[in-house]
Amino acid sequence: YHAGNFADVVKHVCLIALLQSFLRKPTPFCYLDTHAGNGYYDLFDEFSAKKKEYANGVEKVIAQNNPPPLVKDYLKCVHQINSQLSATKFSSLRYYPGSPMIARHFMRPQDSIIACELQLEVYQALKKVFAGDAQTAIHHQDGFLGLKAFLPPSERRGLVLIDPPYEDPDEFTRIVQTLPRAIQRWDTGTYAIWLPIKEKKALERFYRAIQQTINFPIFAIELTIYPELAQHLNGCALVIINPPWQFDQTMQTVLPWLWKALTINNQGAFRAYSLK
């Protein structure tokens, strides 16, 4: 239902900014995705077509003139993956790539991906997408347990994306409980946690818990497109632990543009700031 919506756009633009920071040095890095999903999503299938959330997400960004360089890189990635999946040089937007496929697009031969997915059918679909890819390891596993199983990787540098579906109210608690142990195992890694913004108090409680348990730099990104009182997903946040050099400046530059492109009637707001 949600593929390519405004929250996906924000998440994936931030993801690309993080990945590009690792590409500045030749040494290899590892990308670990705890809740990897299908790999890609057909926007013409019955689920995506029912609500067409991508119309208020990636399609709005495509329609903008003169996007910032980071957004251009995001759109180029989406279009190139569409061309690959459609087996045509020029293709309209039909497929929306998930985080592991976007990460794979930017990988060099020396880099690697570890992707966890617990739902069997989704895992099987993801396994098929990356069949024969020696740089990508797909595991049928709970992503939170994957943080224990696969950290630290052999690479010293890298990124962990924690993006659960938030269908279980305990997932906020699981993140708070799991993160300190993961960071203890791999303290040179960068950790990105995607969060839905529905109730501001819940987000603030999460921030306080993270600040109390983690003694590393923490940077937060928030973008909402509806008023806080709306009875649905108002926006999303990303919390970055151990953010790369100049990542904060990159997001301070691109976030106003994203909000202007994605907001509904100038509702909502955006901010990017240090929590610690």
The residues annotated with a catalytic role in the active site are 163
Q: How far apart are CA 36 and CA 16, in angstroms?
A: 16
Q: How far apart are CA 40 and CA 249, in angstroms?
A: 30
DSSP string, 125-188: HHHHHTTT-TTEEEE-S-HHHHHHHH-S-SSSEEEEEE-----STTHHHHHHHHHHHHHHH-TT
On whether the CB atoms of residues 222 and 187 are closer than 8 A, the answer is no
In 3D space, the residue among 199, 248, 246 whose CA is nearest the CA of residue 221 turns out to be 248
